[in-house]
Amino acid sequence: MNRASSQLSAREIAVNRGGRSIFSDISFRLQDGELLAVTGANGAGKSTLLRAVAGLLPLAAGSIRLETADTEPRPVSESAHYFGHLDGLKPSLTVHDNLALWARVMGVPGVSVIEALEEVELDHLDDMPAGYLSAGQRRRASLARLLVVRRPLWLLDEPTSALDARSEAVFGALLAAHLGAGGLAIAATHRPLPVATAATLRIGAA
Amino acid sequence: MTGLFLALVGRTVKLSLGAGGGAFVGLIFFLSVVAVVPFGVGPDMKLLARIGPAMLWIAALLATLLGLDRLFQDDRDDGSLDQLMLSGLPLELVALAKAIGHWLATGLPLVLGAPVFGLILGLDATAIGLVTLTLLIGTPALIFIGAIGAALITALRRGGLLVAVLVLPFTIPVLIFGVSTITAVTTTGLPVMPPLLILVALSMASAVIGPVAAAAALRAGMD
């Protein structure tokens, strides 16, 4: 983890989908250890913003820069964890096997798969096919993916949906630890986050 | 990155062979087509032996196309494709790994099954050997070409047989040179090397073009 040196800045970004402008002229800046909350009505473009920052959607205008302590600059897509609505779990593979693939993606190796499952309190289900997990458990298994490889930026889309109060506290602790180690995070949410936010970005007509 | 590539190949194989993966459906479809031919053609062993290699090739072609539609679609539906795009592995290599895994799980069983099914059609040992050899060389080409179609329908959010309709015309050269390699030895007596080498070339070229085109289609479909 790169301490006290990472910074994410977006300058006047705009995204079009299907020929229609979703949002334009959005700028923000994040220093290490900061959490940016993105709010807005349904359909305002919160998820679109996160996907655009991750590099999953092309920018129509503007630029996004992530500066980290790495000697060689990496694109944002290789420095960000995207935690979206879809959990990326294969129902027929065990929880452990599912995570084992994501432990090999580019980035600084984090904790082992079983340790990550312990963090999200799923270690007793590691040899269970992911298809048998409940919605909240799938969400937590997906959260463990953010721990097996360390990346400086977390992009969280409705991170606390389907989580119960206890799991939300677990998530809050993990996010606080990530920020405490100098990480960055952007969370799109309707509900109050269990971690103090540095800034709030409101998008859409309001 | 090699680790991720190999892990992705392994996971694709595991998913295809596992419950609901559909690898065995292709093999059973292959068997069904081959088993139906003698009923349609009649008990003429000479005729069967003559058209047998072509029937095996057509059946293998159809069986290959059958399982292609889910190649990238499942990954898009459950969010794995997003994660693979952020994994740091170039999307071309992601497509290559998925295609190799898909061939190991669905193409290789067809190759291994071909000698058995050749016996059903009354082929002699030479023809059976040649069918197996040409399928071994040719089925990767079918899957690499098919991967382009699979990526396109994933981008278009369509499914089912559309991929077979899209891909079939582009697999005709593979079929022609696969079958003509066999007939060069068994019936026509023409030189065997030219069609065999063209078949090898088709496989090698599609191994490069297929993943690159599939990755381009997947990127275009990210909107």
- pLDDT over threshold 90, residue B49: no
Distance CA A155, CA B53 (A): 55
Closest chain A C-alpha to B150 CA, distance in angstroms: 19
Q: What is the pLDDT of residue A70?
A: 67
Segment A23-33 shows an average pLDDT of 88
Query: Domain check: are A8 and A75 in the same one?
Result: yes
Domain boundary among A151, A176, A197: A151
- A171 touches B at CB < 8 Å: no
Share of chain B above pLDDT 70, in %: 98
Query: Domain check: are A8 and A61 in the same one?
Result: yes
Residue A107 C-alpha from the chain's centroid: 14
- pLDDT over threshold 90, residue A196: no
Segment A85-100 shows an average pLDDT of 89
Q: What is the pLDDT of residue B162?
A: 86
- pLDDT over threshold 80, residue B216: yes
Band of the pLDDT at B207, cuts 50, 70, 90?
very high
Distance CA B128, CA B92 (A): 35
Average pLDDT for chain A:
86
Query: Domain check: are A138 and A169 in the same one?
Result: no
Task: Please judge whether A18 and B80 are an interchain contact, meaning their C-beta atoms are less than 8 angstroms apart.
Answer: no
A90 contact residues in B (CB cutoff 8 A):
11, 15, 74, 78, 80
Q: Is residue A97 part of a domain?
A: yes
Worst-scoring range by mean pLDDT, A47-56, A120-129, B19-28, B99-108? B19-28
Band of the pLDDT at A75, cuts 50, 70, 90?
confident
- B83 touches A at CB < 8 Å: yes
Q: Is residue A84 part of a domain?
A: no
Q: What is the pLDDT of residue A174?
A: 92
Query: Domain check: are A75 and A162 in the same one?
Result: yes
Q: What is the pLDDT of residue B21?
A: 66
Domain coverage including residue B88: 2-220
Query: Domain check: are A55 and A29 in the same one?
Result: yes
Task: Please judge whether B14 and A93 are an interchain contact, meaning their C-beta atoms are less than 8 angstroms apart.
Answer: yes
Closest CA in chain A for residue B76 = A88
Query: Domain check: are A27 and A64 in the same one?
Result: yes
Look at chain B and report how many structural domains it folds into: 1
Q: Is residue A44 part of a domain?
A: yes
Query: Domain check: are A174 and A74 in the same one?
Result: yes
Query: Domain check: are A6 and A75 in the same one?
Result: yes
Look at chain A and report how many structural domains it folds into: 2
- pLDDT over threshold 60, residue B47: yes
Which of the two residues, A3 and B51, has the higher pLDDT score?
Answer: B51
Query: Domain check: are A33 and A72 in the same one?
Result: yes
Written as six digits, the tokens of A21 are: 């402008």
Across the A/B interface, how many CB contacts are shorter than 8 Å? 80
Q: Is residue A85 part of a domain?
A: no
Query: Domain check: are A95 and A133 in the same one?
Result: yes
B3 contact residues in A (CB cutoff 8 A):
104
Band of the pLDDT at A2, cuts 50, 70, 90?
very low
CATH value at residue A188: 3.40.50.300
- pLDDT over threshold 90, residue A204: no
Domain coverage including residue A133: 91-151
Angle at A196 between CA A194 and CA A200, to 5 degrees: 105
Query: Domain check: are A66 and A140 in the same one?
Result: no
ipTM (interface predicted TM): 0.87
Distance CA A143, CA A174 (A): 9
Distance CA B193, CA B174 (A): 15
pLDDT digit string (tens) for A138-182?
999 999 999 999 898 999 998 888 888 889 999 999 999 999 988
Query: Domain check: are A66 and A135 in the same one?
Result: no
Q: What is the 3-state secondary structure (H, E, C) of chain B?
A: CHHHHHHHHHHHHHHHHCCCCCHHHHHHHHHHHHHHHHHHHCCCHHHHHHHHHHHHHHHHHHHHHHCHHHCCHHHHHCCHHHHHHCCCCCHHHHHHHHHHHHHHHHHHHHHHHHHHHHHHCCCCHHHHHHHHHHHHHHHHHHHHHHHHHHHHHHHHCCCCCHHHHHHHHHHHHHHHHHHHHHHHHHHHCCCCHHHHHHHHHHHHHHHHHHHHHHHHHHHHCCC
Candidate from A54, A90, A145 with C-beta closest to B78: A90
Segment A115-124 shows an average pLDDT of 89
Candidate from B78, B82, B89 with C-beta closest to A56: B82
Q: Is residue A86 part of a domain?
A: no
